[in-house]
Structures are given as structure tokens and as C-alpha cells.
Chains A and B, each alone.
Chain A
Amino acid sequence: MSVADAQAAVEANPVWYHTIEVAPGVTTPGYFDLRPIAGRLPWPDVEGKRCLDVGSFDGFYAFELERRGAAEVVAVDVEGPQDFDWPPHLRGWGPAAADQMSGGRHAAGFEVARRLLGSSVERVHGTVYDLDPAELGRFDVVTMGSLLLHLREPLRALEAVRGVCRGCFLSVDQIDLGLSLLSPRRPVARLDGQSRLMHWWVPNAAGHRRMVRSAGFAIERTTGPHAVRYGRSHAGHGARATNPFTVARELVAGRGPLHQAVLARPVG
């Protein structure tokens, strides 16, 4: 496939969540660009391993697992926005609005990227809550990025992850900088649960670690905070901050939502 064909295929997809280089010089215009932090995450050895990416969306982590030598990669995501955890007052029109943006095909970019990358990642539809070892088997490595904050029941989700994890779990999720500085050791989260961003619990760094632990994991390594850069489609991309707090924060931690990465293993 020529570069022009690749470019055309990328442009034909109305919504890109991830920024992925799908062909030499052809990069998807995602909302978020994980490429600058991908190398700094506490990756386990995935060479020859059976791997799962939960809440895969356009598949950035899944393709990264494959690139790092995984033997098999399964990418799980919901079939459509009706399976998101909408707050009750958005449940009526939220899914239809999301469908309208994406042309009725949630995360259609995954299939485009998979084809252009010549990838053999397997796509499975389902929610994190429904992860079932009887259906999918168990995995040596599980990744989950920026999903917990979008879940009404993050601890139930983490326990479901533990149920299919027989090796390592890499959790990269959004944290609140202010709460992390105010309470370095005490696990605290702020609750949204009402906005269109579909944010629920956003913990401080200690809270993210406690969430992982209280779902039955032991933490091996932690990195961050990492700012996940805005991609070309995000309104924050290229915008210049004027609020002094934001400027200071960006100087300290970089631009974009802050994340912490935790590598953990199931206990027991």
C-alpha cells in the first residue's frame, strides 16, 4: 500500500483517539499521543508472551505489545458507546451523540491501523467488567491505559482484570496532580460522575496504587507522573496556557493529563 493510500485510509476515519504511526511518515491524528512516554513505562518482558490490552480503543498499547515481541495479543474494547459508563443524565442521548461523531463505528481506527501495520492483534468486543477466563483464557501480561477514570466501578474492573491475569499487569492511568502533592501517601480520589468527559474517580498517585492493591495485586514498580501529550485532534493541542497554575504545572510535569504507571502482579 502506498503512503498516499495509507494517508487516505487514515483520513477516512472520522475519530482517532490514539496517535499511531501506521506507515512511514503517516501518523493518525489522535486525541492523545502516547509515543513520547511509551518508552518510559515500566514494561515487563513481553517477548513470546500471551498479552491482553483492556480498553484498547485504536490499539496503541496492543500494537506496542506486538512490536515488543508478544507472541499473541488480544485487544478488548466495548462494541459501542452504549457500553460506556455514562452518568444517568447522559445515558439517554450520550451514546447517540458519540455515534454521530464516529459515524456509528466506535474505535473504527483500530481496524485501519491493524491493516496498515500488518498486525495480527485480535480484536474482542466486551467490557472490562465482563472479562472472563473461561472465555478468553488467562494472559501473561495485561495492559490497561486511561480506562479506570472512565469507570463507575473501577475496583470491580480491576478485580476482573486480575481474574484473567496470570503474570504481570501494567496499569497506566490518570492521576490528579494537586491531590498527589497535597496527600503524597494518603489514597484520595476526586469524583466527577457528571460531566460529558465521562470521568468518574480520578485518584492521586497513592490512590491509584491503592486501587490496584485493593483489587488483589502486589506492586512491583511505579513510574511517573507522565504527561500524556495531546494529539492533533485535541482542543488542547497547540493551545498556550495562560493560567499561572497550569503554566507552572506544565513546566513541572509537561503538557496533557498526568498519568502514573504501575506494574503489578496478582497476589495469591
Chain B
Amino acid sequence: MSVEATRGAVDSVALWYHTIDLGAGVVTPGWFDLRPIVDRMPWPDVRGRRCLDVGTYDGFLAFELERRGAAHVVALDIPDHRDWDWPPDQRAHGGEHLARLAGPEKGAGFAVAREALGSGVEKVDMSAYELSPERVGTFDVVVCGSLLLHLRDPLRALEAIRGVCAGEFMSSEQVALGLSLAHPRRPLATLDGSGPRLQWWVPNAAGHRRMLFSAGFEILRHTGPYCEPFGPSHPARHPPLRALPRQFAQRAVAGHAGVPHAAALSRPRV
């Protein structure tokens, strides 16, 4: 694919979620840019292993698994905007609204990036809840990023992930920064569950680790809170003045302005 053709394909995608370097100076204008923090995540050794990325969206973590030497990578995502866990008051129209914002085809960005990268990642249309060894087999390494907060039943999803994880599971999730600092050991979560933002439970860092534990994982190592930076197209990239103090605080505590995250590497314990 020529650089011009790649640029054209990137421009044809209505909304990029991930900022991905496709080579030759072409970078997708994502809402989030994981590149500065990707090495802060507690990666296991993935070389030669069979790997799964749950809730892949444009595929940043799946391509990263491949780049790190995975033998085989499966990238899982829901095929349609209507398949998100919409709150009841949004269920009738949420999918259509999102389709207007993000384009009708849910996996368009992934397909473009995959082709541009010449990647061999295999895409599977499935929700995290539906994961089972019968349907997808088992994996040496499973990763999941920024998905749990969008799920009404995150512990059910984590148990389904455990069911297909034969080795290690790396989970990187949004955390409530204030609750993480005020309650470093007590597992807590805030609940949204209303409106179009598709956010349900956002735990503090201790809550994120407890979610993994109570889904049957043991924690091998974990990070402190860090911020996942906004990408070029995120509205908060150009914040109003009143948002600046918050962003300065985030920079001071977590290194970047963005969405506070914490990550843990775990393995099934039951």
C-alpha cells in the first residue's frame, strides 16, 4: 500500500480511537495515544505465544502483542455499536448515535491499520461475556485495556476471560484517581450507569486489583496510577481554561494529562 493510499484509508475512517503509527510518517488521529505509556504496562513475555486482546477497538494492544513477538494474536471486539452495554435509557438509540459519531462500521479502523501494518492479527467478532474455550480455545497471554468501565457486569466478563486464559492476563483499566490516592488499600468503585457516556464502574487502583482477584486471578505485579494521554482528536486535547488545574494535577501525579489508569499482571489462581 502506498503512503498516499494509506493516508486516504486513514482519512476514510470516521473516528479513530487509538493513535497508531502505521509507518512512513502516517499516524492515526486517535482519541487516545497509548504510545507514551505502553512500556509502563506490566507486559509478560509474549514471544512465541498465543495471545488474545479483548475489546481491541482499533487494535493498538493487539498490534503491540504482535510487535513484541507473539506467535499468534486474536483481537476480539463487538461487531456493532448496538452491542455495547447501553444503559436502559440509551438502549433504543445509543447505537445509532454512536454510529453517526464513529461511522457505521465498528471495526473500520482496525481493518485499515491491519492492512497498513501488514499484520497477521486475526479479528473475531464477539463480546467479552461470550468468551469460552469451546468458542475460541485458550491463550497463553490475554490483554484487556480500558474495557471494564464500559461493562455493566465487569466481574462476569473477567470470569469469562479467566476461562480462556491458560497463562497470564494483563489488565489496564481506567481508575478513579482521587479514590486511589485517598483509599490506597480499600477496594472501591464509582458507578455511573446513566447517560450516553457508556460508563459503569470505575474502581480505584485497589478496586481494580480486587476485581481481578474476585474473578479468580492472582496478581503477579501491578503499576501505580498513570494517565493514558489524549490523542490528537480527543476533545479534551484542547481543554477550556477551567480544566487546566485538573490536567496539571494529573501531570504531577500520573505523568501525563489524560485518563487515569492502573495496570496489573495476573494469572488464574483457581
Contacts and interface: CB of A to CB of B under 8 A. Distances in A.
A268 B88 CA distance: 9
Contact of A87 (B153, B200, B214): B214
A187 B190 contact: yes
Interface in B205-255: 207, 210-211, 213-216
Nearest to B154: A153
A179 B187 CA distance: 12
11 contacts: A87-B214, A152-B156, A153-B152, A156-B153, A188-B189, A189-B189, A190-B189, A201-B189, A216-B88, A268-B88, A268-B89
B88 A211 contact: no
Nearest to A157: B153
Nearest to B176: A188
A186 interface: yes
Given A87-B216, A201-B189, A214-B193, 20 more contacts: A88-B159, A88-B215, A88-B216, A89-B216, A89-B269, A91-B270, A152-B155, A155-B152, A190-B188, A190-B207, A191-B203, A193-B210, A193-B214, A194-B210, A207-B191, A210-B192, A213-B194, A214-B87, A214-B200, A268-B89
The CB with the most chain B CB atoms within 10 A, among A153, A155, A162, is that of A155
Interface string B157-188: 00100100000000000000001000000111
B190 A186 contact: yes
Contact of A210 (B188, B194, B216): B194
B191 A153 contact: no
A88 B187 contact: no
Nearest to A152: B155
Interface string A245-268: 000000000000000000000011
Interface residues of A, number: 32
B27 to A, nearest CB: 37
A201 B200 CA distance: 13
B214 to A, nearest CB: 3
Contact of A89 (B88, B203, B207, B270): B270
A215 interface: yes
B216 A156 contact: no
A187 B187 CA distance: 14
A156 B155 CA distance: 11
Interface residues of B, number: 31
Contacts of A156: 152-153, 156
B191 A214 contact: yes
Most chain A CB within 10 A, of B155, B159, B162, is at B155
Interface in A213-229: 213-216
A159 interface: yes
B134 to A, nearest CB: 19
Nearest to A187: B191
Contacts of B270: 88-89, 91
B89 A267 contact: yes
A212 to B, nearest CB: 10
Contacts of B192: 187, 210, 214
A186 B189 CA distance: 11
Contacts of B186: 190
A87 B89 CA distance: 31
A231 interface: no
Interface string A159-194: 100100000000000000001000000111111111
A188 B211 contact: no
Nearest to A217: B88
Kindly list the 5 A-B residue pairs having the minimum CB-CB distance in the complex, ordered from nearest: A193-B214, A214-B193, A216-B88, A88-B216, A153-B153
Interface in B73-91: 87-89
Given A155-B200, A156-B153, A191 B187 contact: yes
B210 A191 contact: yes
B156 A189 contact: no
A203 interface: yes
B193 A210 contact: yes
Contacts of B89: 216, 267-268
Contacts of A268: 88-89
Contact of B88 (A162, A192, A194): A162
A267 B88 contact: yes
A207 B88 CA distance: 17
A188 B211 CA distance: 15
A223 B159 CA distance: 35
B89 to A, nearest CB: 7
Contacts of B191: 187-189, 203, 207, 210-211, 214
A143 to B, nearest CB: 21
